[in-house]
């Protein structure tokens, strides 16, 4: 079984609401076997012909099925509108090693 990664590029439009989301999201990610590998750290963009990231978050899950189960879960779907109300974002799931 291969690990899976969720990569989120986020432009935060309301810091206060984002803090509420982060407090709820982290324990939920962990309850589905996920872990944060990076969360808004310094970016050094070397090439950007297709995309210029703003603020990246990188999560690792044990499998693609677990990543999808997390995202589709009623618990995550309940807090997702908080993020959607205070950010513009792109979220990608990537099967990896």
Q: Set out the domains of the chain in order of their start, with CATH numbers.
A: 4-43+52-95 (3.30.70.100)
- Residue pair 87/22 in contact by the 8 Å Cβ criterion: no
pLDDT at 35: 98
Global pTM reads 0.93
Sequence-separated (6 or more) residues with CB below 8 Å from residue 44: none
Give Dmax (Cα) for the chain. Answer: 38
pLDDT at 97: 85
In tens, the pLDDT along 51-81 reads: 999 999 999 999 999 999 999 999 999 999 9
User: Is the predicted pLDDT of residue 1 greater than 80, yes or no?
Assistant: no
In tens, the pLDDT along 29-55 reads: 999 999 999 999 999 999 999 999 999
Residue 81 tokens read as 């509108």
pLDDT at 38: 97
């Amino acid at each position: 079984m291969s690990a899976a990664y969720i990569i989120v590029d986020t432009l935060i439009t309301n810091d206060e609401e984002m803090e509420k989301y982060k407090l709820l999201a982290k324990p939920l990610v962990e309850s589905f076997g996920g872990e944060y590998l990076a969360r808004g750290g310094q970016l050094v963009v070397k090439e950007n012909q297709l995309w210029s990231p703003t603020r990246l978050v990188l999560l690792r899950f044990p499998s693609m099925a677990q990543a999808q189960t997390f995202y589709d879960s009623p618990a995550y779907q309940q807090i997702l509108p908080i993020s959607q109300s205070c950010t513009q974002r792109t979220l990608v799931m990537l099967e990896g090693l």
